[in-house]
Amino acid sequence: MKMEDIDNQIAEAPLTKEESKAQFIANTEKLGLKHTFNFDEAWEIGQEIKKRKDFREKISAIEQQGHDNDIWMSEEELQERNPVKNSFADGCYIREIFNPANELLVTKIHKKEHPFFLMKGEMSVLTDEGIIHLKAPHHGITKVGTKRIIYTHTDCVFVTVHATELTDVKEIEEEVIAKDFQDPMITLDDLKLLKGEI
């Protein structure tokens, strides 16, 4: 069976978990393969990667539809309505942003893990885990490959902290923000998941 055949099967007639397990066992025996993982582990990793891929495609499509229909603010409007304070401390870039109430935002794609802090307000956030409601004070970790849609219920103050020796904000953004999900830092994170390192 060629990879092209497998890709076509996945797209046109995906197997159930039971059918996939039978195929996994049959091909393992037929080809004399030895694995460092069992079928259930491989299935779970595959499902997680598929879930990430599906979410990334959907959130990118939503963002594009918003641009096509002039739903999102221009960069200038965004900066005016959502002022940012930048500060630095011994290898850290601290970014504080004010988001007014009743605003719908799409974040950029993060290519480095970093902490975040909701210092003031309440927001709902669409993530690959579903919709979560955050209320200040709250903190968490932004994972590699994260892109979110945020709705602010109240005025919010959101802070992120990034480890960097850079002090030019444009250079820092290039270091921590991916242009798309094909960025090598994002795909490397997916490989870590596949290898069981996450």
Which residues lie below 8 Å from residue 77, measured CB to CB, with a gap of 6+?
A: none
State how beta strands 177-178 and 84-89 pair: unpaired
Q: Measuring CA to CA, how many Å separate 5 from each of 35, 51, 69?
A: 22, 22, 38
Q: CATH number of the domain at 75-183, please?
A: 2.60.120.10
Mean pLDDT, residues 163-170: 95
Is residue 72 very low, low, confident or very high in pLDDT (cuts 50, 70, 90)? confident
- pLDDT-based confidence at residue 198 (cuts at 50, 70, 90): very low
> What does the block give as tokens for 37?
């993982």
Domain parsing of the chain, residue ranges: 3-68, 75-183
Cβ neighbour number for residue 110 with a 10 Å cutoff: 22
Average of pLDDT values for 49-77? 88
**pLDDT at residue 128 tops 80:** yes
